[in-house]
Structure 1
Amino acid sequence: MALVELPDIKFVEDDVNKVFGELVTVFQGMTGRVLNRADPEMMVLRAFALMFVQQRVLINQVAKGELLRYAKGVILDYLGDPETPRLQAEPALTTERFTLSIPLVNPQIIPAGTRVAPEGAEGSILFATKNAVTIPAGVTQIDVLAECTVPGVIGNGFLPGQVNTLIDPLPFVASVTNLTTTAGGADTEDDDSYRERIRMAPESFSTAGPEQGYIYWAKTASAAIVDVAAVSEVPSEVTVIPLLEGGVIPPQEILDAVAQKVNARNVRPLTDRVTVQAPEAVPYNIELTYYINREIAAESTVIQDAVGKAVASYALWQKSKLGRHINQSELISRIMNAGALRVNVVSPVYTPITDLQVAQDVTINATFGGLADD
């Protein structure tokens, strides 16, 4: 939601010169004396003015902190309580496949909480099955949802096949492996994301299926969700598309969690058919050459490092929002601000992106072309 441009608010005057002037006026009015600059009372009044200004700065900070736009930390928690609580840290999720060595005559139970570790993690990171499942007689495989035992982003990013070390031995289980990349782990919701959800909360009160309402409820599914689009191209049919922090495409486990939220009976109108799907990734490459002014050659190493960070920040910016067009002008701007003299961009080129899509960088090649004159 776009914020209305408003001037910075000030509840009490905290300019030291104005406060000092007010004290001098009050003192002269009460004593009937006109003070000169060298009078001792002027030094005393200036000291009082400094003390009053410090108090007024604190008053402004506290008063502004009670407004949604400026609130932080626990004050923001109170503003969101109780309808919109802050999302707490959540564990990463994946689907684990348990495989038996042979088909069994009797069913084999995989207990809830069975732990599996990523290869080489040495027990520092563990995933545990969320529910107990049973492998039927004569069947050798079963899939079960597992979550990281430590909430947060620490469990994200393990590729299929990497979470494959069974910590709790089970009879006849020959192997275990994750079928999906671990994702969905998130730290406690930060102030900016939480503030935005509080601002959107009134949209959730409607049962008519407004766009912002679906976005609000989808974001409550996980603190890892950084952006959501709700699109209705056909009457009574709504498609909800979530995107995870860092531009990660949400796995099926997150899509299922979002679907459960937006299809709740108190959220979805009876006439709506709501589906949840992952965004379509639009791949692009970053291929460019940049030059540094010869006059600041001594700073070239620092500038090269800054340019590398600028390119990485652009790639993150580009994939952190649905429907954000691929824009090489933004890339050039960031590199120039990092200290480059000029930039020759081969790719990307400007590419429109829809709300159902997200740009995803494939390769990044930023080459230092050397020193150049203005």
Structure 2
Amino acid sequence: MTRFTPVDLSLYPISDVVEALDFESYLARDRATFTERWELRRLADPSLPPVDTLLLESDPSSVVLEVGSYRETLLRGRINDRIRALTLAGALGRALDHIGVTYYRTPRREIVPAVGATPAVMEDDETYRQRLALAPESWSTAGPVGAYLFWALSASGDVLDVAAYSEDEGVCLAPRIRVVILPRDGLSGPEKTALVATVKEALSRVRLRPLGDLVTVELATDLPFNVVANLKIRQGASADIVKAQAERRIRQYCSGRLRWIGDDIEGPVWLIGRRLRQGTIAAAALGTDANVVEVSLTAPVGDVNPPPAGYTEAALADVGAPGFVPLADAVTAHLFKAPRLGTVTVTHEVVAESWS
């Protein structure tokens, strides 16, 4: 009963091939090697002084060793960057463009076309990266749900989010497919209507999808909500800074773009049919800030866009059976809604909380 999502590239184990940088270990190794070789020189020439000042910052040999270890750290870092640039999960900018065009035959989309001397605004790295992860789904035409998502997203840069539902979600009878799109902010009513037509054309029977599928395209319903959070902050912390950071984390999570709490990496938008849990919003406000002792929310009251009580595994148990009847619109309405964050209000109170 969940929306199809491609592989989560944030979990790709790049760390298995990229080594952690450790300047201090390189320096300790070089000091040990230098000391060992110097002692061998002293065995041949006892007049040489012992090495007893390597740990002093003023010692010339110590400075030379630090420079060498620093350069090694930079070199290893560059190698790490080169390795990341070869992976879909780690590539950025032109490296990601190269992977997209050569391996996936999928160029980056234009979000805003070029006008005169003003260059085009292209889709960001994370959105492009996730669309590339969907690209193999499209190689089977628009049959799998991932293929419908890929081609609908690729139809126009004005498509912010897409969901595709069928009989499996209990919203219709096969062979009907209901594709739901969320336009980018700022589009007018006529522009949204035109966008629906553009996506429908991209998924046309002649160009792409299987002959037997009956595809309809519709707009998601905005579900506006506000967040009101109260923070209990430790004495001595800057309340303004703490509240500003909490508000930023709330907006990141509720925009549907935050990959996971605390990493500050924004991914592609996922809002259609999404349930934003009140507890997770509070956790986003808390983050990893040690200055925040507790978070309480007075809005939203409960989860945003929860499934109705009737939308259960039991209700979908007969999917595919000859006598299956689609669930009532009121039971599946949450699948077609997109939570849209309005205002965020963050208040605070100072508490004398011990740091122990």
TM-score of the pair, normalised by structure 1: 0.60
Cα separation, 1, equivalents of 2:270 and 2:117: 22
Cα separation, 1, equivalents of 2:19 and 2:147: 37
Aligned: 1:8 with 2:29: no
Say if 1:367 and 1:51 are closer, same or farther in 2 by CA, change over 3 A.
closer
Cα separation, 1, equivalents of 2:185 and 2:83: 34
Cα separation, 1, equivalents of 2:297 and 2:198: 44
Q: Which amino acid aligns with 1:201?
A: A
1:2 CA displacement:
3.0
Cα separation, 2, equivalents of 1:267 and 1:342: 49
Cα separation, 1, equivalents of 2:179 and 2:248: 33
Q: CA RMSD in A?
A: 4.3
Q: Deviation digits for residues 283-339 of structure 1, max 9, x if unmatched?
A: 5x436463645845x844445555555555555349951121142223323344574
Alignment correspondent of 1:332: 282
Alignment correspondent of 2:182: 243
Larger radius of gyration: 1
Q: Deviation digits for residues 24-63 of structure 1, max 9, x if unmatched?
A: 769979x976997559988756644433332222122112
Say if 1:294 and 1:50 are closer, same or farther in 2 by CA, change over 3 A.
closer
Alignment correspondent of 2:156: 222
Matches within 5 A, 1:35-54: 37=51, 47-54=67-74
Structure having the higher helix fraction is 2
The SS at the match of 2:136 is helix
Aligned: 1:189 with 2:123: yes
1:360 CA displacement:
3.4
Q: Which amino acid aligns with 1:343?
A: S
Q: 1:259 aligns with which of 187, 195, 200?
A: 200
> Unmatched 5+ residue regions in structure 1?
92-147, 153-185
1:342 CA displacement:
4.3
Say if 1:19 and 1:33 are closer, same or farther in 2 by CA, change over 3 A.
farther
Q: Percent identity?
A: 23
Matches within 5 A, 1:148-227: 187-207=121-141, 209-227=143-161
Question: Which stretch shifts more, 331-340 or 238-247?
Answer: 331-340
TM-score of the pair, normalised by structure 2: 0.62
Aligned: 1:290 with 2:230: yes
Say if 1:22 and 1:372 are closer, same or farther in 2 by CA, change over 3 A.
closer
Q: Deviation digits for residues 238-289 of structure 1, max 9, x if unmatched?
A: 1111223459898111111111112263420111111111113345x43646
The SS at the match of 1:81 is helix
Aligned partners of 2:142 and 2:148 also within 8 Å: no
Cα separation, 1, equivalents of 2:62 and 2:232: 55
Question: Which stretch shifts more, 250-259 or 209-218?
Answer: 250-259
Q: Which amino acid aligns with 1:88?
A: E
Cα separation, 1, equivalents of 2:286 and 2:25: 42
Aligned partners of 1:287 and 1:347 also within 8 Å: yes
Cα separation, 2, equivalents of 1:228 and 1:295: 45
Say if 1:149 and 1:18 are closer, same or farther in 2 by CA, change over 3 A.
closer
Structure having the higher strand fraction is 1
Q: Which has the higher contact order (CA 8 A, sep 6+)?
A: 2
1:65 CA displacement:
1.0
Aligned partners of 2:23 and 2:70 also within 8 Å: yes
Q: Which amino acid aligns with 2:296?
A: V
Cα separation, 1, equivalents of 2:336 and 2:344: 27
Alignment correspondent of 1:141: none
1:190 CA displacement:
0.5
